[in-house]
Amino acid sequence: MDLHIDDFYRDSALGLLNLYQAFPRKITLYLDDLVGVLPCDEVGLPHPRQQQCLSTLLWLASEGYVRYENTIGYDAVDQIELTQKAFVRLSSTQHPFNQG
């Protein structure tokens, strides 16, 4: 069974990095910026990779790391921002080059 954990970690990291760099502004986070431009399938459904990326961002929201106002189909998450929980956690990690 393929759980796509590597993709989950990558999507989480890229999404949180984009939000950290924009903090404290709310932004529209486009999935194409995280996973690239991917073709729809033959019936017009979004690529499975886009669906996984969106699910990752929605999971981060359900766990209290981000909040958002709406999704724009499978294309973007609108008015998304870091929560205090995520900001503190990301800010408190020590950069490996800053270790004494």
**Shortest CA distance to 90 belongs to which of 38, 6, 14, 36?**
14
Distance, in Å, from the CA atom of 49 to the CA atom of 38, rounded to the nearest integer, reads 8
Rounded mean pLDDT, 53-81: 96
Rounded mean pLDDT, 43-61: 92
Question: Helix (H, G, I), strand (E, B), or coil: what is residue 2?
Answer: coil
Q: Is the pLDDT of residue 48 over 50?
A: yes
pTM: 0.84
Comparison of pLDDT for 99 and 73, the residue scoring more: 73
User: Which residues make Cβ contacts (< 8 Å) with residue 39, sequence separation at least 6?
Assistant: 47
Instruction: Measure CA 9 to chain center.
Output: 10
Place of tokens 């729809």: 40
**Shortest CA distance to 85 belongs to which of 36, 35, 19?**
19
| pLDDT of amino acid 93 | 65
Rounded mean pLDDT, 38-50: 87
Q: Is the pLDDT of residue 97 over 80?
A: no
